[in-house]
A and B are shown apart, each in its own frame.
Chain A
Amino acid sequence: MKLVVTVVGVDRVGIIAGVSTVLANHGVNIMSINQTILDGVFNMIMMCETKSEDIKDLTSIQEALTTLGKELGVEIRAQHADIFLSMHRVG
């Protein structure tokens, strides 16, 4: 399953380290990382891949990232990449 992990909030030390650790602990491979400051807000996007197709595994990744987001004061989401591909890519 291809995942898109997005982090939105105020920049601070340890965001990439924290997110990467959670993803590694769940067997998720990071393919690329992009970050930008948009309207003064820190935005980071990670393209990831996991071998599991099980929704339960995705749920536990999402829960772990939500907990981490609360600790770091940022919003972290993990979504199946198909929603973005469907909306922005034809063919």
Chain B
Amino acid sequence: MLSIDNILETNQMIHDNKLDVRTITMGISLLECASSSGKELCDRIYDRITKEAEHLVSTGEDIEREFGIPIINKRISVTPISLVAGGSDLTSYVPIAEAMDRAAKTVGVNFIGGYSALVTKGATRADRILIDSIPEALAITDIVCSSVGVGSTKTGINMDAVRDMGIIVKKTAELTKDNDALGCAKLVIFCNPVEDNPFMAGAFFGVTEGDSAISVGVSGPGVVKHALESVRGQSFDVVAETIKRTAFKITRVGQLVAQEASRRLGKPFGIIDLSLAPTPAVGDSVAHVLEEMGLSSCGCHGTTAALALLNDAVKKGGLMASSHVGGLSGAFIPVSEDAGMIDAVSCGSLSLDKLEAMTCVCSVGLDMIAIPGDTTADTISAIIADESAIGMINNKTTAVRVIPVPGKTVGEVVEFGGLLGYAPIIEVSPYSAAEFIARGGRIPAPIRSLTN
């Protein structure tokens, strides 16, 4: 039997502490769409997405209404397009991005991810066509997201791809400069990319998956912060335990939503992504959770330790609450999407270097960080190389989603709108790594990859 306290606690989490399910993401394999005719390929992709995801949004809305839990996004992830388009006669994959955009809008989802290539060791002809077309694809579509895997613990880092992606990020910024380089907010460069990630912009549906699957990303930094308010001054043992208990409850809701969505849509349940994903709204910030532990401002000494504890406790608490855990699973630290992070950058307590250190212990990487528009492609490649090295050596996913905003520099603010938020432009090192990036080739896989 439920007690009054149980019911009030759940509703307080939802209404006062902004508990939500961040996303229901339907993964759709496009491998069967392959065709030698580019036009036929685009038609097949459009038809398959609109057929498979026809009821995704309405089902999500029904679940939202029935259980009284907000489901913020409904999304689609597809097979990396470079794998689907390789056999076609297309010389640019922009028409595929347009077909994805049209299909996603027809079914009413918020984003579609998978305009992707996995070149952790080397690039095929199709991978190169896809990468070259990313700037144009992101400029002319609205809700297509792109990702490129440039390294992994098993393969090392493809430094040719790292060099190219610095250039691609700059081109994307240039082509979308009228929208403060919004295209770059839809582009992620990964080390150790995961095949079942439901979160954007890095979601794609890997080749180890089946025809389709439903995955759910949970959220709830506000709930964790509220829980920690009741244990102020107590030891870290108590802090860790409190976060674990809270994460368990949050994840149970995600599991319920995932099971219901999977049953109603007739698609297999994929995974729950145990993530603390912030939004720019007040009371929904990961930085504020860290500050609740006793830090005066996110970014001060102690922040990495606080984030390590948070990230670990979220996973431990959530693990038992779900039948399948996967995706990125951990705390996200996207600067522009987190009110506390924005304040910390604005007041000077949070630097790019500290963010890099934080990515060693949290779920992803340098995320939604606005940098000066005159940052060179070499410097962006070097940032990607550093972040990839952290991922490769620590056997974890790392990512870079930086936005070099044309015409803007340190101290100015860029506004992306909606869940993407706004960000003060952060300083990058003025010293060049051009000769380092120009070398190309591969950074060999580390000794820890030899586990057999």
| Chain A residues within 8 Å of B, Cβ to Cβ | 4, 6, 8, 34, 36, 38, 43, 45, 47, 55, 58-59, 62, 77-89
CB-defined contacts of B66 to chain A, threshold 8 Å: 55, 58, 79-80
Contact across chains for B67 and A87 when beta carbons are under 8 A apart:
no
A88 to B1, CA, bound (A): 10
CB-based contact B2/A79 at 8 Å = no
Within the complex, which residue of B4, B8, B62, B256 is in contact with A83, where a contact is CB–CB below 8 Å? Answer: B256
* B426 interface residue (CB < 8 Å to A): no
A-B contact count (CB 8 A): 60
25 CB-based A-B contacts, threshold 8 Å: A4-B2, A4-B7, A6-B11, A36-B4, A45-B7, A55-B62, A55-B66, A58-B65, A58-B66, A77-B11, A80-B67, A81-B2, A82-B67, A83-B67, A83-B68, A83-B253, A85-B2, A86-B252, A86-B253, A86-B255, A87-B6, A87-B252, A88-B6, A88-B9, A89-B2
Q: Please, which residues of chain A bring their CB within 8 A of the CB of B253?
A: 83, 86-87
| Interface residue ranges of B238-284 to A (CB < 8 Å) | 249, 252-253, 255-256
CA of A88 to CA of B321, assembled, Å: 11
Q: Are B10 and A62 in contact (CB under 8 A)?
A: no
* In contact, A88 and B256 (Cβ under 8 angstroms): no
B69 on the interface (CB 8 Å rule)?
yes
Kindly identify, within residues 48 to 93 of chain B, every residue whose CB is under 8 Å from any CB belonging to chain A: 62, 65-69
The main secondary structure of chain B at its interface with chain A is helix
Q: Could you tell me if A83 and B69 are in contact, using CB atoms closer than 8 angstroms?
A: yes
How far apart are the CA atoms of A78 and B7 in the complex, in Å?
A: 12
Q: Within the complex, what minimum Cβ distance (angstroms) separates B73 from chain A?
A: 19
**Binary contact readout B12-27 vs A (1 if CB under 8 angstroms, 0 otherwise):** 0000000000000000
| B256 proximity list for chain A (CB < 8 A) | 82-83, 86
**Contacts beyond the supplied A6-B8, A62-B65, A87-B253: 15 A-B pairs with Cβ under 8 Å:** A36-B4, A38-B8, A43-B8, A45-B4, A45-B7, A45-B8, A55-B62, A59-B65, A80-B68, A82-B256, A83-B67, A83-B256, A86-B255, A87-B252, A88-B2
- Alpha-carbon distance A53/B34, docked complex (angstroms): 41
CB of A6 within 8 A of CB of B2, answer: no
Within 8 A of A (CB), among B26-42: none
Residues of B within 8 A of A79 (CB): 66-68
Interface residues on B, range: 10 to 19
Q: How far is the CB of A91 from chain B (nearest CB, A)?
A: 12
Task: State A82–B255 Cα separation when bound (angstroms).
Answer: 11
B4 & A87 in contact (Cβ 8 Å cutoff): no
**B residues less than 8 Å from A85 (CB atoms):** 2
Q: Which 7 A-B pairs have the closest CB atoms?
A: A79-B68, A83-B67, A88-B6, A86-B256, A86-B252, A80-B66, A87-B249
Which residues of B are found within 8 Å of A84, using beta-carbon distances? Answer: 2, 6-7, 10
In-complex Cβ contact of B10 among A43, A59, A88 (8 A): A88
Docked-complex contact B7 and A6, CB < 8 angstroms = yes
Residues of B within 8 A of A47 (CB): 2
- Whether the pair A87, B10 counts as a contact (CB closer than 8 A) is yes
Q: Write out the residue numbers on chain A whose beta carbons fall within 8 Å of the beta carbon of B7.
A: 4, 6, 45, 84
What 1/0 mask marks residues of chain B from 96 to 110 whose CB sits below 8 Å from any chain A CB? 000000000000000
Q: Please indicate the chain B residues that have their CB under 8 angstroms from the CB of A45 in the complex.
A: 4, 7-8
- Chain A, Cβ-Cβ closest to B249: A87
Query: In the complex, which residue of chain A has the Cβ closest to the Cβ of B264?
Result: A55
Residues of B contacting A59 in the complex (Cβ-Cβ under 8 angstroms): 65
Most chain B CB neighbours (cut-off 10 Å) among A59, A82, A83: A83
Determine how close the nearest CB of chain B comes to the CB of A61; give it in whole angstroms.
11
A80–B259 CA distance with the chains assembled, in angstroms: 15
Tell me how far the C-beta of B55 lies from the nearest C-beta in chain A, rounded to whole angstroms. Answer: 13
Those of B360-383 within 8 Å (CB) of chain A: none
Contacts of B6 in A (CB 8 A): 84, 87-88
Bound complex: CA A84 to CA B12 (Å): 12
